Homo-oligomer: A and B are copies of this chain.
Amino acid sequence: MPPTITAFAESPDRGRGLARDMRVRWAFEEVGQPYDVRLVSFAEMKQPAHLALHPFGQIPTYQDGEFALFETGAIVLHIAERGRGLLPEDADARARAIAWMFAALNTIEPSIVEYEQAGQAEADRSWHAARLPIMADRIRARLARLSARLGDSEWLDGAFSAGDLTMVMVLRRAEGMGIIEDHPNLSAYVARSQARPAYRRAFDAQLAVFEAALRDTGK
């Protein structure tokens, strides 16, 4: 039995591959590990059965027999540690790849999620327009440093790793904010990642879920 992950039955991103199951699907595809997907509705995610798997009532979760894991970064790291192709063999290089995972999730993503969340929760507030540049500047400051570090390199530290996978998915959440485009090397880095066959397979798989839901509901 392959491991089973959970994903949104109806993804709010409408198949754009921004939901966090995409990160896990991509990791599975990079290491060549088959997996199953169980779709959950928003209502199910807040029920005790799902909360037992994920204390914060989110997706994705990971189950392999009796073993269960939550938190996307931890799941991607677990897949990377058990498979081949997402973490270097060398211990020092491996630690640096993991550092880029944490950098993506703790240094870059929060500023992007803040901007996104304000667009959902505060768009109708009087202050929203005035806050947009404040939030955008926070993202800009981080991405300027990231761009400087990446420079002309293909990936963040040597070969493609779980650090790049995580960073690219975080950068994709800033799509449409007009910020990544300030840095052609970051745009190219994201595009280079999206051209990977494993990325394509993962993307197509999550898109198929959205298209099937669309057909079912006739929306």
Chain multiplicity (copies) = 2
Which stretch of A32-40, A141-149, A189-197, A202-210 is in the interface?
Answer: A141-149
Contact flags A90-112 to B (C-beta < 8 A → 1, else 0): 00100110111111011101100
**Which of B57, B67, B106, B110 is in CB contact (< 8 Å) with A71?**
B106
B113 A99 Cβ-Cβ under 8 A: no
Is A47 on the interface with B (CB-CB < 8 A)? no
Number of A residues, CB within 8 Å of B = 46
Residue from the list B69, B96, B114, B142 in contact with A114, Cβ < 8 A:
B114
**A55 CB within 8 Å of chain B:** yes
Return the chain B residue nearest A105 by Cβ.
Answer: B106
CB <8 Å contact, A102 and B73: yes
With A69-B96, A134-B121 as contacts: A145 and B103 at CB distance below 8 Å: no
A122 close to chain B: CB less than 8 A:
yes
**A-to-B contact residues, CB < 8 Å:** 51, 55-58, 67, 69-75, 77-78, 92, 95-96, 98-103, 105-107, 109-110, 113-114, 117, 121-122, 125-127, 130-131, 134, 138, 142, 145-146, 148-149
